[in-house]
């Protein structure tokens, strides 16, 4: 019996997508393109980073954690692995791994995990001291590798090591997106009436099996980019001991700007600072529960440095990018020819082959950096510079 043609993904008529939702979706696609460029061009280092994640996750799975938890009281091995890898991206923590006692480092590690993971459970109930020590040994042995990566690639000025392992399989994402779009998934109750194009951001449960990388993207914003400046710093008092006039700071972010020299990348600093504040205010249900009125949401600060979207210029762009990235995966990962990949997607989605080819060509041009005249590239959109191409670091060019 012939498979029934899928219903077309019509645009929502309920209400416009909120700007923050639109930004998240756009950042999601940007992140996936950068991962594919990194994996395609520097596969050995990509595989090495992935092996660190896999080593950590194997320990967590043996301790009883699942990649995608089945209920709200479980912890995710994927989320704990992300928090674990993020631990040694802080210079203070790397120093602890090298010089501090095992107990002191482990205590700090537990505190970091508790602050990083949205759970009412005690991390020690899921991760024994022996397991924690094993993970810390993995991090410790990879400190030199981390330093080498940071020196070699400018990508890690903008994205974390863990985030570059979050490779979404877009054949699975297409199914997941369609189910959420057509109301076949269970959403957190606060977002039952959200615009259909954004429903996948708030899925609590669904009929299809959720890939662990899709899951971690939804709950963590791991596609959010870093910020780089040679002399501007942003401090979180979760990770830094900040004392002002004798009082220790708690639950605050600080922007440090030099006044004895020209601040480098000040626009990027303000944008990152704003996004960091928003991320801190967003709870596990995806809303800013700590804000009490609309004044903050509508402030000039929240509108400051908001760029137009790179991918999601119109809402039907979401479907186009999913299919373009799916075609990329079939060709680059599974060895299909362009014709074969396009045919497989067309057969499953009932989309015209000519359209799918155009989607793939557009994604390829963006990932491969085939710039058209007077076109803003993905690289400039992310870095704010005409000189920086995301990949190997050009030490002869300033990161300004």
The helix (H) or strand (E) run that includes residue 215 is helix 212-220
The pLDDT score that the predictor gives to residue 172 is 95
* Closest to 317 in 3D by CA, of 29, 35, 34: 29
The pLDDT score that the predictor gives to residue 258 is 86
The least confident of 5-19, 221-235, 347-361 is 5-19
The pLDDT score that the predictor gives to residue 293 is 63
How far apart CA 31 and CA 36 sit, in angstroms, is 9
Whole-model pTM: value is: 0.83
Could you tell me what percent of the chain has a pLDDT over 90? 46
Specify the pairing of strand 247-248 against strand 243-244.
antiparallel
How far apart CA 129 and CA 103 sit, in angstroms, is 9
Specify the pairing of strand 247-248 against strand 253-256.
unpaired
| Mean pLDDT, rounded, for 359-377 | 87
* Confidence category of residue 13, pLDDT binned at 50, 70, 90: very low
Is the four-CA dihedral 145, 57, 106, 218 of positive or negative sign? positive
Q: Answer yes or no: is pLDDT of 10 > 70.
A: no
Q: Which residues pair with 48 in a beta bridge?
A: none
SS3 247: strand
Q: Which residues pair with 392 in a beta bridge?
A: 153
């Amino acid at each position: 019996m012939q498979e029934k043609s899928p219903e077309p993904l019509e645009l929502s008529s309920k209400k416009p997508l909120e700007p923050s939702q639109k930004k998240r979706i756009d950042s999601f696609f940007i992140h996936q393109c950068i991962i594919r460029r990194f994996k395609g061009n520097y596969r050995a280092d990509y595989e090495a980073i992935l092996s660190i994640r896999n080593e950590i996750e194997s320990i967590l799975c043996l301790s009883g954690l699942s990649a995608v938890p089945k209920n709200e009281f479980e912890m995710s091995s994927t989320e704990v692995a992300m928090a674990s890898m993020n631990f040694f991206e802080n210079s203070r923590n790397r120093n602890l791994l090298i010089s501090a006692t095992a107990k002191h480092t482990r205590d700090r590690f537990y505190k970091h995990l508790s602050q990083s993971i949205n759970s009412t459970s005690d991390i020690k109930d899921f991760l024994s001291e022996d397991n924690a020590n094993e993970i810390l040994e993995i991090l410790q042995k990879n400190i030199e590798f981390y330093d080498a990566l940071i020196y070699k690639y400018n990508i890690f000025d903008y994205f974390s090591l863990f985030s570059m392992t979050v490779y979404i399989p877009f054949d699975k994402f297409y199914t997941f997106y369609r189910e959420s779009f057509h109301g076949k998934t269970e959403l957190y109750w606060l977002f039952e009436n959200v615009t259909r194009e954004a429903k996948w951001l708030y899925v609590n449960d669904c009929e299809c099996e959720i890939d662990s990388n899709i899951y971690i993207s939804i709950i963590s914003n791991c596609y959010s980019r870093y910020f780089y400046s040679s002399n501007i710093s942003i401090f979180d008092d979760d990770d830094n001991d900040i004392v002002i006039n004798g009082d220790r700071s708690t639950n605050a972010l600080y922007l440090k700007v030099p006044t004895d020299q020209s601040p480098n990348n000040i626009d990027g600093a303000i944008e990152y600072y704003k996004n960091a504040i928003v991320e801190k205010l967003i709870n596990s249900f995806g809303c800013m529960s700590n804000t009490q009125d609309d004044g903050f949401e509508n402030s000039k600060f929240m509108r400051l440095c908001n760029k137009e979207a790179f991918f999601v210029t119109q809402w039907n762009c979401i479907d186009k990018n999913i299919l373009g990235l799916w075609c990329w995966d079939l060709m680059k990962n599974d060895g299909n020819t362009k014709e074969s990949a396009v045919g497989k997607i067309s057969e499953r989605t009932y989309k015209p082959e000519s359209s799918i080819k155009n989607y793939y060509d557009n994604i390829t041009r963006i990932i491969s950096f085939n710039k058209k005249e007077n076109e803003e590239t993905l690289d400039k959109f992310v870095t704010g510079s005409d000189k920086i191409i995301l990949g190997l670091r050009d030490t002869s060019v300033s990161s300004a």
